Structure 1
Amino acid sequence: MGWLILLMAVVLLSVAVVTRNLLLHQAESSAVAALEQEAREFSGVAASGVDRATGQPFGSVRELLRNHLQRQYPDDDEVIVGVVRNGAAREVLRQEREAPMRLYDRPELLDPILAATSTSGSIGTAAGEMRWVKVTATGPAGQGAEGIFVVGYFIDRDRAEVHRTIRTLGLVSLLGLILTAGASWLVAGRILAPVRLARAAAAHITEHDFTRRVPVEGNDEFAALAEQFNAMLERLEKAFATQREFLDDAGHELRTPITIIRGHLELLDPVNDDPDERLAAVRVCTDELDRMSRIVDDLLLLAKAERPDFVQLKPVEVAELTSDIYAKIRALGDRRWRLESIGEGRVMLDEQRVTQAVVQLAHNAVQHTETDGEILLGSSVYRGWASFWIADRGPGVSQEDAAVIFDRFARGSNAKRTSGGAGLGLAIVQAIARAHHGGVRLVPTSGGGATFGLELPARGEGVQ
């Protein structure tokens, strides 16, 4: 607001300065025009030498000057005199009117004008600066008299009027500036009230309290800002809650193998060392350490999924990728593997990450189907999307499990789906899909079971 008021002050000052200069220039031009007009009129009358009222020639230069002075109606700022000189004799003629100054009675002013070699000039007087112009005329031949017509214009009176106008303009501008500053202060306070509320809310937010919200009033930009601020707080609250749950679940998952390892190590008898017992304990500890290692690797992978370089996109043939994945998943278990569909097209994706996600889906299908059960792999490229899916004929996924099955450390409630894993597999699949700006879909398989599919945006050649 301060910068705005300063800008307005500069603009108003500039307007006042420009207006003053224009008015002064106009006053100067008006004075010059008035003097030139008076001089032209006298020159015209003197050149004709004829009285316009009677049509008769003037008998003398004195008659010319007196007749012309009687017919002139000068402005309030003008003074007109006529001077007749005949040798050393001089007669000053004047108008019968009230003039700004009695120039005819001021020889100290009139004499320098008459003696000047130029026909125009300026002289200082008690009434201010006077611009003057003089025109010389001669009488009939043989008379020897010379007439001088002098016109003076007191320009300081016009300048004083300009200065009064500028002072009035300055006072009005200052009053307007003060009123504008007060109004701006009030309006800015009302406009910035949501910002102050947002600042106060931000000041009260801690990592343990995200319940503070900014009141939303109206439908302007600040209301939209308050809504976005509240939405950001909700996302932060949810993110921190998810983080706390994640840390609690991770601690719980890692605590279990640690407890098992400690228990088996404590049961070992260093005195009566039974080789079979020792081998069994080592085998259990090794299995638990492997499980801890898998959990840590999965957690690191999920942490990397938040980085922008998690996926490296490059052109990939969907058909070749599908064939490679099919060759890899057939070694996961003794199942009836079938390639249901192969997509055609060259799209931009991370081949290794997509393979990792599909293999993880296939691994889940193996764990939740019986030996010699049927598992299908398929892919397609259609309407700007590339899809990869795994379908099984297992027990399927309940509606309750479908809502949380992609969360970290979440496991299905079906007993057959309990496999000793940490519950991070589907979370990793979803992270890979989201890194491609896609998603994961879960639909029931026709005839029983479940179908998990990756839906990825297809950008590249051969995309329909």
Structure 2
Amino acid sequence: MLDRLHTSMAAQRRLLDDVGHELRTPLTVIGGHLELMDVEDAADVRATRELALDEVDRMRLLVDDLLVLAVADREGFVRPVPTDVGVLTDDVLDKATGLGRRTWRVDQRADQRCLVDPRRLTQAWLQLASNAVKYSADGSTVTLGSAVADGTLRLWVRDEGVGIAPEHQARIFERFERTEQSAGTEGAGLGLAIVAAIARAHGGGVDVSSTPGVGSTFVLHVPVTLAPDDGADGTPDERDDDEEGPA
């Protein structure tokens, strides 16, 4: 119990530090523009209003992400249920196609039912897909896949994007970590930290292999217990797949 209390208090301190650090900039931007706004100039008022609303939306997304990280170490953050990984793979693919104009494909689909939290895994998987879109060009291929072997579930996303320099690969899962490749993109650098938190909550982790100028492959891996196949989740749609794992 003392360990849980200590973990909870440490998480709250990190949350307060992160909120204070990250909200300072948008609050300063909003305050500065409101002070300089010419209330007699309708165009200036409209422009300032739009800017303020945009910054408020950015703060809202940031707070949502921080709240996820704040509770990631708590009991109940993940709620494992029997999940058809093949169906989950197809569901994530269907959702990911709306993230950007890419050639989306699945190169392998697990056919096992495992005890995992499908909502959290979907959240993490889509974050990896969103990351792939952010750092790749329109029309390039983004590949998803899933496999279960030796008691481990692997979910991956492979892109043909800008890649990640070797010196940054060990740090990209830390909070607010930004690389040269992420300069000029939206976000506070919390997406991959959330992916790592979800993987840890399942008892696993996330790895990356990347070559600058060629692309990256992110693999989320978690230990799993196979669930009885009672057919509750149905069967995945038939699609043309190549039987291969992540590169």
What's the TM-score bracket when you normalise by the shorter of the two chains? 0.7 to 0.9
**Contact 2:159–2:217 (Cα < 8 Å) also in 1:** yes
Task: Calculate the TM-score normalised by the size of structure 2.
Answer: 0.83
Once residues 184 and 69 of structure 2 are traced to their aligned partners in structure 1, the CA distance between those partners, rounded to angstroms, is: 22
Number of residues of Structure 1 aligned to a counterpart in Structure 2: 223
Of 47, 58, 66, which residue of structure 2 is paired with 1:291? 58
Aligned AA (1:265): L
Once residues 448 and 285 of structure 1 are traced to their aligned partners in structure 2, the CA distance between those partners, rounded to angstroms, is: 38
Of 240, 254, 264, which residue of structure 1 is paired with 2:23? 254
Following superposition, the deviation at residue 420 of structure 1 comes to 2.6
**Contact 2:202–2:223 (Cα < 8 Å) also in 1:** yes
**Contact 1:316–1:346 (Cα < 8 Å) also in 2:** yes
Aligned AA (1:431): A
Once residues 26 and 102 of structure 2 are traced to their aligned partners in structure 1, the CA distance between those partners, rounded to angstroms, is: 30
Aligned AA (1:448): V
Once residues 169 and 210 of structure 2 are traced to their aligned partners in structure 1, the CA distance between those partners, rounded to angstroms, is: 11
**Contact 2:105–2:143 (Cα < 8 Å) also in 1:** yes
**Contact 2:83–2:114 (Cα < 8 Å) also in 1:** yes
Following superposition, the deviation at residue 251 of structure 1 comes to 2.2
Task: Calculate the TM-score normalised by the size of structure 1.
Answer: 0.45
Aligned to 1:273: 41
Query: Identity of counterpart residues, as a percentage?
Result: 46
> Judging changes above 3 Å, is the alpha-carbon distance between structure 1 residues 447 and 399 closer, same or farther for their aligned structure 2 residues?
closer
> Judging changes above 3 Å, is the alpha-carbon distance between structure 1 residues 296 and 446 closer, same or farther for their aligned structure 2 residues?
closer
Of 169, 183, 194, which residue of structure 2 is paired with 1:402? 169
Once residues 212 and 52 of structure 2 are traced to their aligned partners in structure 1, the CA distance between those partners, rounded to angstroms, is: 42
Following superposition, the deviation at residue 444 of structure 1 comes to 2.4
Structure showing greater Rg: 1
Q: Which runs of 5+ in 2 are unaligned?
A: 230-247
Per-residue CA shift, 1:148-173, capped at 9, x if unaligned? xxxxxxxxxxxxxxxxxxxxxxxxxx
Per-residue CA shift, 1:43-75, capped at 9, x if unaligned? xxxxxxxxxxxxxxxxxxxxxxxxxxxxxxxxx
Of 421, 441, 450, which residue of structure 1 is paired with 2:187? 421
Aligned AA (1:379): S
RMSD: 2.4
Once residues 448 and 243 of structure 1 are traced to their aligned partners in structure 2, the CA distance between those partners, rounded to angstroms, is: 40
Structure 2 matches for 1:125-274, cutoff 5 A? Answer: 248-270=17-39, 272-274=40-42
Per-residue CA shift, 1:289-339, capped at 9, x if unaligned? 111111111111111111110000110001000000000000011111111
Per-residue CA shift, 1:246-274, capped at 9, x if unaligned? 7555423211110111122112212x222
Q: Which has the higher contact order (CA 8 A, sep 6+)?
A: 2
Structure 2 matches for 1:371-382, cutoff 5 A? Answer: 371-382=138-149
Following superposition, the deviation at residue 446 of structure 1 comes to 11
Once residues 58 and 212 of structure 2 are traced to their aligned partners in structure 1, the CA distance between those partners, rounded to angstroms, is: 34
Matched residue SS, 1:330: helix
Matched residue SS, 1:378: strand
> Judging changes above 3 Å, is the alpha-carbon distance between structure 1 residues 396 and 417 closer, same or farther for their aligned structure 2 residues?
farther
Aligned to 1:432: 198
Corresponding position: 1:443 with 2:213: no
Matched residue SS, 1:344: coil
Matched residue SS, 1:410: coil
Per-residue CA shift, 1:220-250, capped at 9, x if unaligned? xxxxxxxxxxxx9xxx9xx97x987775554
Per-residue CA shift, 1:8-62, capped at 9, x if unaligned? xxxxxxxxxxxxxxxxxxxxxxxxxxxxxxxxxxxxxxxxxxxxxxxxxxxxxxx
Corresponding position: 1:389 with 2:132: no
Corresponding position: 1:456 with 2:226: no
- Structure showing the higher helix proportion among its residues: 1
Matched residue SS, 2:180: coil
Aligned to 1:310: 77
Corresponding position: 1:356 with 2:123: yes
**Contact 1:401–1:413 (Cα < 8 Å) also in 2:** no
**Contact 1:301–1:428 (Cα < 8 Å) also in 2:** yes
> Judging changes above 3 Å, is the alpha-carbon distance between structure 1 residues 460 and 449 closer, same or farther for their aligned structure 2 residues?
same
Once residues 457 and 302 of structure 1 are traced to their aligned partners in structure 2, the CA distance between those partners, rounded to angstroms, is: 21
Aligned AA (1:264): H
